[in-house]
Amino acid sequence: MKLWILKPAKDLPEDNPWEPWYDKAFGFIVQAPDEETARKLANENGGDETGKISHDIYRTGGDAWLDHEMSTCKELQVGDVEMVIMRDFASA
């Protein structure tokens, strides 16, 4: 297994899944065999950023942690169990 760190991409447009900032996860460290699984685990454990693209438009299939333009996913280290290690969540 590998460790992955996931964060929102830099220089996102104003209308992005992390606006407004509350009830959203802003980072994960996930243990998974590959980037696809790491993104899936983060997306399953996210907040409103996983379904809400703007205040009135909802997306059901892609979601922020699965979208390579909205979020980054970089390998950290090797491990042997698939799990979420860290969740960075902001709530109002």
Length of the chain counted residue by residue: 92
pTM (two decimals) = 0.76
The whole-number pLDDT of residue 51 equals: 72
First to last CA, the chain: 34
The residue written with tokens 């892609």 in the block is 62
Q: What is the arithmetic mean of pLDDT over 7-22?
A: 89
Q: What is the arithmetic mean of pLDDT over 50-65?
A: 59
Is residue 81 within 8 A of residue 34, CB to CB? The reply is no
Distance in angstroms (rounded) separating the CA atoms of residues 37 and 1: 11
Highest mean pLDDT range out of 44-48, 78-82, 83-87? 44-48
Residue 56 has pLDDT above 60, yes or no: no
Q: How is the chain split into domains, by residue range?
A: 2-90
The whole-number pLDDT of residue 61 equals: 40
